[in-house]
Amino acid sequence: MPKLTTECLVLGLGNPFWGDDSVGHRVADRLSRCLVGLPGLVVRATSFSGIRLLDLMVGYERLILVDSITTGKRPPGSLHILSLSDVQETSSPVSVHHFSLAQLLEVGRRCGLVVPCQVRIYAIEIEAPREAGEELSPAIEAVLEPITREILLREFPEQTIQSGRFPCREESRGHGVLCR
């Protein structure tokens, strides 16, 4: 049986060159600066989707996923906090390139891989981006700090409060492209 390599993966998703779609990268970048040196934690950002995400998730017990979402039901910047059961799909994927998160994890389990058994999804409402660019809309820029704080307090309360990890270190400002 494969062993767990690390306890927790924080994975920011999105396209860093597609405006608000990069919000998962931006939050992952902020979280990585806040949680530097925390044992058992890896923070990454990626533009991968589909089956390619499985490689990134192997070996972790816990997954915290940060991504954008466009439902049109809430204003941009609203935070949806979801569990794996909230995003279960019962239908088959359209192609082998399009798997739901639940389907990816099931494929990993059936292949004998160690995949996260604890999953939380932080989906930040955005308007569908209309043009390429690295700039965030004012609505999304305004929620980066509060959403980062919310995730820290929900997922890492002891480390955040006891160590004073928030506000985060300011050096190494980037757009969160830690893994491609």
Q: Is residue 171 predicted with pLDDT exceeding 70?
A: no
pLDDT-derived band at 97 (thresholds 50, 70, 90) equals: low
Tokens encoding 111: 């292949």
pLDDT-derived band at 178 (thresholds 50, 70, 90) equals: very low
pLDDT digits (tens, 9 = 90+) for 98-149: 688 999 999 999 999 999 999 999 999 999 888 898 999 999 999 999 999 9
Rounded CA-CA distance 144/54 in Å is 27
Verdict on whether the full-model pTM lies above 0.95: no
Domains of the chain: residue spans and CATH: 6-163 (3.40.50.1450)
What is the per-residue pLDDT for 8?
Answer: 96
Rounded CA-CA distance 111/12 in Å is 25
Average pLDDT, the chain: 84
C-alpha distances out from residue 129 to 10, 91, 125, 150, Å: 24, 27, 12, 25
Q: 42-46, 154-158, 159-163 — which is least confidently predicted?
A: 159-163
Rounded CA-CA distance 66/14 in Å is 9
